[in-house]
Amino acid sequence: MQTSIMDRVQMIFQDVFDEPKLRIDRSSSAATVPEWDSLAHINLVTSIEQEFRIKFALGELEQLKNVGDLLDLMERKIASRR
């Protein structure tokens, strides 16, 4: 069974925040996840880039409002590699 992008991102969030019970959804954002500060944001971006072998431009990240926007951007980047 292939793990979905959301499942993999969920595991990254749990690892970065050191919170195995943390649950995110498409509407999750820095405003709704405790401890999501600028350092955590950098760690999330770096971990996602490494896990999925993609790179984000600063301008792309500035436009993201929530996890759903992040997932959509990731899917576009992954699809463009094919």
How far, in Å, CA of 73 to CA of 56, rounded?
A: 9
Does the model's pTM come out above 0.85? yes
Q: What is the CATH number of the domain that holds 12?
A: 1.10.1200.10
Q: What is the pLDDT of residues 3-54, one digit of tens each?
A: 799 999 999 999 999 999 999 999 999 999 989 999 999 999 999 999 999 9
Number of domains in the chain: 1
pLDDT of residue 47: 98
| Per-residue b or e along 12-34, where b marks 16 or more CB atoms closer than 10 Å to that residue's CB | bbeebbeeeebebeeebbbeebe
Specify the pLDDT at position 58: 86
